[in-house]
Structure 1
């Protein structure tokens, strides 16, 4: 069958490519229905990744946060129309000591490998996760981002000390919202504080115990563990604040992506005996754990609905471009493309 793939060929320029794909016993065919625009997609779209990276990665279909419906299952296990979330990480080997999302050989959709801006996506069975029939697909579209937070918490659970009475989350954006939300539901008896700099964003965090502006943190404020969800140039200040305000032998989970080297107060890291854990992307287990949590704690979906910033029906390449441009002007939430192209 001829499959249409919508590839970024240069900054702000998307073109249609045609690929010939044969139906096989190895792949389930998915029709994307809801695609969520991520900051990483925007860095490619605007060309801010730099000329060298753009030359290496393009042409490439964007989007790694997406859901869809089964169009064909060679084994007949999943009925046509089954709602699924697509897993963008594609491992080609196994290592007993390294997770699939940390293997250099793994491919990742919309990062040097075609993302989900296609008419149909062909995925191995272990790269899809079945969603509840009644789920709001606008919310489900950014499940991948939720799994990133879930993965970081799983790494924290495996490595952190058992003292877990309070958490601090630095960052008042989408990832900070999701991370603090999961912490509050997974550790209902613990105190969760969000540290940010924008009032109207912090007002969205109605489920946490406290919100503090980063310039107004009391000198003696202490927390057991911290999660950094800032990224960019702000990572340095956020990490150093975390180092200052955590208790000795705390764990600092780093999730924010920065293109710049970051200087941190290593003297205080050593003095306090802190553990810094880097987390990137997620794996198939994180997807299943996240979907299970949706079912067990449906109220999470009600809070995640707050992040649906805008939705736009997309039927042409020009409307894809409009959706990306509109997302650039958005200051809160996720932009979702209703994929009807």
Structure 2
């Protein structure tokens, strides 16, 4: 089978591996679609994501869906459509014991160099996963849309960290795919208004196509002062934190969803104290994958987030397109026939 493997900065290759065989408790999945994430781009371009540097070749990809090829237990018939939960919490640490497995200190994640040996990802024709990592997809959900389940779950977790957004005025700072998916999830959760911001025109157009109420182009338009109950900072740009804090009402909530680069960063934080704003981090997700699948099965409103689909053989071109947010939203790899 072919797999997309990064060997170092700028060194992306198709490596050929034997098709694996599952043991009891494992399932062989024929992957059909994989979404390219920012972390995949960082490994490809820089050989690292933050402090997680490559120490061995790594199969990229953690936003993966497909069909069951073989289940030794006989539980899942061949051809069953599934989404793959990319996390493997340890089950033994204090965080797992407290039921917050998404921040497990020993977790492994598909396509990640955070641990060694690295956790190989899903940009391959086949992969082996534990049976409990699979979520059976409903018949109303095409695999081409289900590939959004993982990044949408990230947005849903951020909304849960905010304490819910029903009836709230919500600002999403940054209109990349996760930001737009979080905004769409906020609309589905009953938010009264949802705005998104960005520096570029295309992400704002995609956000409007996906159903947000209003967009703000940074540098051209102005955000209202103290207007929003909740702000989700999804850009990971520290310069965006100050404006988001200014736009949140007194005793509002700011959820930091975008990942900052390593090292100290300046930010305007005076409003944090003066307005008694709650600031909360949001990292990955846990049970929200099931909620994400249900949301995607019920509506195609978030389909505009996917702007390009490439065959696996064109993965290098796909990576280059995905790296340009002025011309793309979510870029998807077609890993095998669906």
With normalisation by structure 2, the TM-score equals 0.87
Aligned residue runs from structure 1 range 171-182, under 5 A: 171-182=174-185
Corresponding residue of 2:41: 42
The 3-state SS of whatever aligns with 1:248 is strand
> Judging changes above 3 Å, is the alpha-carbon distance between structure 1 residues 326 and 191 closer, same or farther for their aligned structure 2 residues?
closer
Choose from 261, 266, 270 the match for 1:263: 266
What is the RMSD of the two structures over their aligned residues, measured on CA atoms?
2.5
How far the C-alpha of 1:85 sits from its partner, in A, is 0.7
Which of 87-96 and 173-182 deviates more? Answer: 87-96
- Tell me which of 262, 275, 281 is aligned to 2:284: 281
What 5-or-longer segments of structure 1 have no aligned partner?
none
1:50 Cα offset (Å): 7.5
Report what 1:186 is aligned to.
189
Q: Which residue of 2 aligns with 1:202?
A: 204
Question: Is residue 322 of structure 1 aligned with residue 314 of structure 2?
Answer: no
Aligned length: 323
Give the superposition deviation at 1:22: 4.3
**Cα displacement (A) at 1:53:** 4.3
Distance in 2 (CA, whole Å) between partners of 1:218 and 1:239 is: 13
Partner of 1:138: 144
Q: 1:129 to 1:109 in 2, by over 3 A?
A: same
SS at match of 2:316: helix
Q: 1:219 to 1:294 in 2, by over 3 A?
A: closer
| Equivalent position of 1:224 in the other structure | 229
CA contact (8 A) 1:7 1:62 kept: yes
Deviations 1:269-300 (A, max 9, x none): 112111111111111x11111112233xx22x
The alignment's TM-score, normalised by the length of structure 1, stands at 0.86
Superimposed CA distance per residue, residues 101-154 of structure 1 (whole angstroms, 9 cap, x where no aligned partner): 211201011112100023321111221111122422222113211110011112
CA distance in 2, matches of 1:200, 1:24: 46
Q: Is the 8 A contact 1:178 1:304 kept in 2?
A: yes
- Corresponding residue for residue 112 of structure 2: 111
Measured after TM superposition, the shift of residue 42 of structure 1 is 0.6
Kept after mapping to 1: 8 A contact 2:202/2:328: no
- Residue 72 of structure 1 corresponds to 70
Q: Which residue number in structure 2 is paired with residue 151 of structure 1? A: 157
CA 1:180–1:80: 2 relative to 1, 3 Å: same
